Amino acid sequence: MLARLMVARLPELEGDWLVVPVPLHRWRLWQRGFNQAALLAREIARLTSQKMVPDILVRQKSTPSLGGLGKASRKKALSGAISINEAKANRIQGARVILVDDVLTSGATSDACVKILKQMGATHVVVSCFARVLEEAIVPPPKRVTPEAETSGAT
């Protein structure tokens, strides 16, 4: 169902496109047992009659869970984490790519993936995600002032 909803929001796909999931590091994949982006990508490829390439991007560096991190911290954590699978690099040159993820939070992961795909010669990259977290939901809430702090500062 999620993939069908995502396909409905894609632009018209003329010609051949590669459907590429955002990669998980092998340890996270082993712990979780699945890559939710790859499951969505597989169904999107089927629904659009496009070719899925599940292993063209590689998360070579294990990153901490990005939940709770701000945009700058996410970008720093992802620095150097995603690369191209050299054995499949020739498939990117001149390709149009649908990059699939489940949730786009700050955009740091998508940005890192798009950067690599463009460097390797992709002509178009469309990011397709099921959910988008609003920026105000990422920013940590302001510090609460306790009643003790208010009274201790009064003169």
Per-residue pLDDT of the chain (155 residues), as tens digits, is 999 999 999 988 899 999 999 998 777 767 788 889 999 999 999 999 999 999 999 888 666 565 565 667 666 666 677 889 999 999 999 999 999 998 887 778 898 999 999 999 999 999 999 888 766 655 555 566 666 655 555 54
**Cβ neighbours for 10, distance < 8 A, ≥ 6 positions apart:** 44, 48, 98, 126, 128
Helices (H), 18-99: 26-32, 36-48, 71-78
What predicted TM-score, i.e. pTM, was given to this entire model? 0.78
Give burial (CB, 10 Å; 0-12/13-18/19+) of 39.
middle
**Domains in the chain: boundaries:** 2-152
Domain 2-152 has CATH 3.30.70.1520: no
